[in-house]
Amino acid sequence: MAIPYTRRLIAAQFTTTGTQTIFTADAAFHYVVRDIVVTNGDLGPHDDQVYIRLPNGENVNLLLLEQMPAASTVHWDGRQALEPGDELRFVRGGPFQAIAVTGYVLFN
């Protein structure tokens, strides 16, 4: 049996504030989020958030960063399945943010 390894689901940099859908799970595979890394490249602290938007419109918080210090990085390590239609969203409270998400991509 092959040992599963993580794959990068998304890696992105943003220069504006706002909310962005960064990944949408489709029905072709099973997705499991394992790691989220958020970097605040701004000169000041601000609030950031990573959450799952369910197909029924409800939100499930994964990572809430209140007053994340300037020039810092936060790592979340977990196991969160994404069902078909689930959207991974990134809320940026300031400019110059980067995010990377890795996880398992498994065959149905």
Mean pLDDT confidence for 97-103: 96
65 compared with 2, residue with greater pLDDT: 65
* Segment 33-59 mean pLDDT: 96
**CATH 3.40.50.1000 for domain 7-107:** no
Q: 3 pLDDT band (50/70/90 cuts)?
A: low
Residue 2: pLDDT band with limits 50, 70, 90 = low
DSSP helix/strand/coil, 1? coil
Q: Is residue 20 within 8 Å of residue 88, measured between CB atoms?
A: no
Concatenate the DSSP letters of all residues of 24-62 into one string.
Answer: E--TTEEEEEEEEEEEE-SSS-EEEEEEEE-TTS-EEEE
Mean pLDDT of the chain: 94
